[in-house]
Structure 1
Amino acid sequence: MQKPRWLSTDRFSLSWPPFDMAHLRLAVRATSAALLAYGIAWALDLPKGYWAVLSAILVVQSSLGASVAVALDRGAGTVAGGIIGVALAMLAGPSQNLTVLLLTIGTLATALLAAYRPSFKLAPVTVVVVMLADPTHAQPLISGLQRVFEITLGGVVGIGCALFIFPTRALLLLFPHAADAIDACAALLEQGGSGLLDGTLDPAEVDRLNAQARTTLRAADLRVGEALRERAGRLSSAPDAAPVVRLCRRLWHSVIILMRVADQPLPQSLSDPVRPSLQAAVAALAMECRDLAESLRTGKAPTTGMLAATGAEGLAQDERLSRAGAGVAAAVAALEAEMDRAGAAGLLRSDGASLTRLYTAVSACIQVAENLNELSAQMESYRSENA
């Protein structure tokens, strides 16, 4: 498994991630949102227009779904904090002592609300802004309404820029994460086969690969949530990608079953009869993982025909996946047949624990093959839905 380009092998240095066009597009969206919000705030002569500019910049995220989520969170926090702040400011009046007391109560209440519901994390900030923006507290209602309007304006501008300036759907960012997790599974399979047959498993590399799978699947889960928000807001008609992420996680869990019995080599009396077939099965499974990962990583987004096979290139991809799937099925079937033959011939003689480890490893290979087959079928469904 090749390490990411940005991860240096030097223990004393860590290079920056590579720059790509997605970073530039995000920067352009954020800058456009800031300038547009500033222009509107200036035209409307808003007293604290910088709140609109800040909100617009914060709302613009890497995907449209993430932008919607941030805008909704800021809106919810602003409205809640604005209502509480206005009410407390009107109660406090010009009294400094009462202001301090109510500010403490309001901040504590909204901070507890934000801790319970993270979507209200802006509420404590809004309470403080509303209560302290005007030291005389002469017009707390007007002050609160202005803050709500300014932050709402920034949210609308941010979503508009996310929607119309280099729009990026969440699925474009989701599938590369899933592909990275599948690549990690391929490398783990190879580590497991080496550990079982030769005792050359590298624990440090296994830990790194498991961490990669865990991190990338969590990132994919976040993108699934963003994609669901896009669908709920009718901003995208792409099919639900959650099944792909679930299948990737099941695949990883099946690989983990193999890794649990690969920490030490099998006795030679067990490994010799099944070595060729087990090596072939592991190699075929790892190759299929990498083929599927590459298809996910380089395919088009579902919103524009994700993994849709068109023309000669599409046919070549279909044929490659078909041959790889047939090769996996044949390799796993050969492994099962070899296990049956060796068992019937009395070649699989060893202590019970070692024999259990071997059968567990073979069962894990079968499960991995089934998961890969389901994942391939799920990808085909994306083709048909976006053809």
Structure 2
Amino acid sequence: MRLPTLPRFTLADARLALRATVAALVAYLLAYWLDLPKGYWAVLSAILVVQSSLGASLAIAIDRCLGTIAGGVIGVGFAIVAGPSFGLTLAFLVLGTFMAALLAARSPSYKLAPVTVCVVMLADPSHADPWVSGLERILEISLGGAVGLACALLVLPSKAREYLYPHVADVLDGCAALIDLGARGLVEGTLDPATLDATNTSVRVALRAADTRAGEAKREKIGFFSQSRDMTPLVRGGRRLWHTVIMLLRGAAHPMDKELGRDAGPALMAATTALSAVARAIAANMRDGEGVDMDSTLETASGAVTALDAQMDRLAQSGAFSGDGASLVQLSAAVAACEHLLENLTELAARLKDIRAPMEE
């Protein structure tokens, strides 16, 4: 019988758990000290606001406050008009929920508004007047949001860039694998469609995750919680690199003519191998720090692409390009893709150095 494997927790997981625990404790103590009637709303809000990065916490805090205020205003207004009447309460509850849900559908920032409408309108009438109940809910949720944001900022804070680097690194590793697949498909005819689809899907998923983290990093910068440079060039560079790799893959479904592959194949394989090594080196640099050398691999790749161009010139002068037209198109597209890949990787490495520069000062 095979025993189930235990989940592996990282240091980042432990820091997030600690922040959430501290936020829940502080929110509970403040709600108790302020004698809030439903202090659990503050505790729940504090826990929900604490996210993996400060930028994500800031986004959740803003959304909860906006949704609570909007829902509170709608709920209080309708509760006052409805009074103790069951029929009016039911009618305005339906109308208020529809209005708040419509607002939430228009903007995700108001997704808490329908919940707040229901909480305010269905509150125990013996406890307080509707407007008092609404103000209490707004105070409790706002208090929890403030506590959660403070804990995200002060208790072992994590910046979005710490989570963005691994996602972009995954994009680069995926692109490196695709470069190798495409080159072997062109020269050897060994392209595996299933592996190609799976790798492309992993790159696409990593790019979506990187976009999310880049947005969080931008919110940190706008909120004056971070002085680092804009992280979006890294994501944009990874996406541009992937699009260039797709140029290489378009002609890789079928191998080139054997004679052309024999003449140009070694230089093409050398160039693509060097380029995929650069992508992996940049990915390792993002994961492991600046101790991983990118410059030497870039220099090697530059030499390999230059050698590929020189081989193309020699083949053109010798008349080797008078054969199969489809193979010539494949080869020309592959060479152009290699040149663009080198440009993209060089720019990506430079952007990474620029982004890291302020942290060294």
* Aligned 1:1-387 pairs, distance under 5 A: 18-135=8-125, 139-299=129-289, 307=290, 317=292, 320-387=293-360
Letter in 1 for 2:319: G
For residue 324 of structure 1, report the CA deviation from its aligned partner.
1.1
Pick closer, same or farther for the CA change 1:236–1:246 going to 2, 3 Å. same
For residue 383 of structure 1, report the CA deviation from its aligned partner.
4.2
State the distance in 2 between where 1:370 and 1:63 align: 32
For residue 322 of structure 1, report the CA deviation from its aligned partner.
2.0
State the distance in 1 between where 2:129 and 2:58 align: 32
For residue 270 of structure 1, report the CA deviation from its aligned partner.
1.6
For residue 24 of structure 1, report the CA deviation from its aligned partner.
1.1
State the distance in 2 between where 1:158 and 1:172 align: 20
For residue 167 of structure 1, report the CA deviation from its aligned partner.
0.4
State the distance in 2 between where 1:129 and 1:386 align: 46
Q: Is the 8 A contact 1:111 1:121 kept in 2?
A: yes
Letter in 2 for 1:275: G
Letter in 2 for 1:241: M
Q: Is the 8 A contact 1:257 1:364 kept in 2?
A: yes
Q: Is the 8 A contact 1:131 1:137 kept in 2?
A: no
Secondary structure of the residue aligned to 1:357 is helix
Aligned residues with identical type, % of pairs: 53
For residues 318-365 of structure 1, the C-alpha deviation after alignment (integer angstroms, 9 at most, x for no partner) is xx3222111111100111111111121111233322211111111111
- Name stretches of at least 5 consecutive residues in structure 1 with no aligned partner: 1-13, 300-306, 308-313
State the distance in 1 between where 2:127 and 2:119 align: 12
Q: Is the 8 A contact 2:15 2:156 kept in 1?
A: yes
TM-score (norm 1): 0.89
For residues 16-44 of structure 1, the C-alpha deviation after alignment (integer angstroms, 9 at most, x for no partner) is 76421111111111111111111111111
Worse-matched range after superposition: 118-127 or 158-167? 158-167
Pick closer, same or farther for the CA change 1:138–1:361 going to 2, 3 Å. same
State the distance in 2 between where 1:117 and 1:137 align: 33
Secondary structure of the residue aligned to 2:321 is coil
For residue 298 of structure 1, report the CA deviation from its aligned partner.
1.5
Letter in 2 for 1:267: D
Secondary structure of the residue aligned to 2:162 is helix
For residue 260 of structure 1, report the CA deviation from its aligned partner.
1.1
- Name stretches of at least 5 consecutive residues in structure 2 with no aligned partner: none
Name the structure 2 match of 1:7.
Answer: none
For residue 377 of structure 1, report the CA deviation from its aligned partner.
1.3
Letter in 2 for 1:36: V
State the distance in 1 between where 2:156 and 2:27 align: 18
Letter in 1 for 2:312: M
Q: Is the 8 A contact 2:257 2:324 kept in 1?
A: no
State the distance in 2 between where 1:142 and 1:268 align: 82
TM-score (norm 2): 0.96
For residue 229 of structure 1, report the CA deviation from its aligned partner.
1.0
Q: Is the 8 A contact 2:82 2:88 kept in 1?
A: yes
State the distance in 1 between where 2:124 and 2:217 align: 41
Letter in 2 for 1:22: A
Q: Is the 8 A contact 2:123 2:133 kept in 1?
A: yes
Secondary structure of the residue aligned to 2:322 is coil
State the distance in 1 between where 2:21 and 2:128 align: 36
Pick closer, same or farther for the CA change 1:160–1:137 going to 2, 3 Å. closer
Worse-matched range after superposition: 236-245 or 375-384? 375-384
For residue 269 of structure 1, report the CA deviation from its aligned partner.
2.1
Letter in 2 for 1:208: A
State the distance in 2 between where 1:179 and 1:240 align: 17
For residue 59 of structure 1, report the CA deviation from its aligned partner.
0.3
Secondary structure of the residue aligned to 1:386 is helix
